[in-house]
Structure 1
Amino acid sequence: MQVRYGQSGDLDWLCENDIHVGKDWIKRCLGNQEYVVALQDNKIIGFLRFSFFWGKIPYMDMVWVPEAGRKQGTGTALFNFWEAEMKKVGAKVLMTSSVIHELEPQTWHKKNGFQESGQLHFGNFDPTKEVFFIKNL
């Protein structure tokens, strides 16, 4: 498995698989090197999209692997690459979140060293609470 930052040639695959954001946002993230992709036999098998909370704290927006490829270490490989890259740029903490009722992602975050740090309700935007996690580096 190879892990690298996303590239412009990954756009079509990301548009098909990162269904939570639009093409313009995907292009923006690719331009800012805010995608990490995992490849097997030169084919993308998963991605991690991130941003910076307050413009400073690396925030893992999403890590996604197709159902058939899960529980094979791809998500962890994506996370490990991202964590190492964030350390290189001087990050002191990482941040992520999960919908409150999604226990499997929360368990995965904790397994990768995150600790729950609070919950938010986004009112009319989304009635479901979000659980936030941080990991000190």
Structure 2
Amino acid sequence: MKTMDNKENVIIRRAVPQDESFWLSLDEHISRSDLADKISAGACYVLVVAGDNAGILRYGLFWDNVPFCNMLVVAPGYRGRGFGSAMMRRWERDMADLGYCAALTSTRADETAHFFYRKLGYRKCGSIWPFWESSHPPEELFFVKSLLPPPRGYFLKSFL
């Protein structure tokens, strides 16, 4: 596959209600009503390449004050070309512009996404075993990245 070319028409924009069908084709972890709420709150991004929807990013606020990327998916035909990195950079820039000094994300230990997040400058800051899942899935790894210098007394300072 070719890598992302600066000449490609690439747009990363906030999701709108008309994106619902595309979104739900990539994200099986959210209900229609919750997605509508997230879109209304501006917490969803859509990647558009040459006029085609090609990826999604959804976030929330951990402890109501730390941006947490809950979902990043690039459609199969667009993977490995730098679009996921571009989506993360856009989201991180937007979060920094809002004054957040750190960002969090997570992935299962058996998924290769942890290599992707490390490449983007995220550092492992913890993990949990999803004991509540009857299927006993692998450990969930949590990652943090500094976006801005933390203020004095910032509770995540020791991780940044």
Q: TM-score, normalised by structure 2?
A: 0.81
Q: Following TM superposition, by how much is the alpha carbon of 1:13 offset from its aligned partner in structure 2, in angstroms?
A: 1.1
Q: How many residues align?
A: 136
Please point out which of 82, 87, 92 is paired with 1:73: 82
Alignment partner of 2:42: what SS?
coil
1:22-43 CA deviation, whole Å, 9 max, x = no partner? 2111111101111111101222
Please point out which of 95, 115, 119 is paired with 1:107: 115
Letter in 1 for 2:97: K
Map of 2:22 onto structure 1: 13
Letter in 2 for 1:31: S
Letter in 1 for 2:37: R
Alignment partner of 1:123: what SS?
coil
Aligned equivalents of 1:61 and 1:81: distance in 2?
A: 15
1:5-62 CA deviation, whole Å, 9 max, x = no partner? 1111211211222112121111111011111111012221001111100111000001
Aligned equivalents of 2:98 and 2:42: distance in 1?
A: 13
1:72-113 CA deviation, whole Å, 9 max, x = no partner? 1111111111011000100110000010111x2000000111
Identity across matched positions, percent: 24
| Higher CA-based Rg | 2
Q: TM-score, normalised by structure 1?
A: 0.94
RMSD of equivalent CA atoms: 1.2
Letter in 2 for 1:9: Q
Q: Structure 2: any 5+ residue segments left out of the alignment? A: 1-9, 148-160
Q: Extract structure 1 runs of 4+ deviating beyond 4 A.
A: none
Letter in 2 for 1:120: I
Please point out which of 124, 129, 137 is paired with 2:139: 129
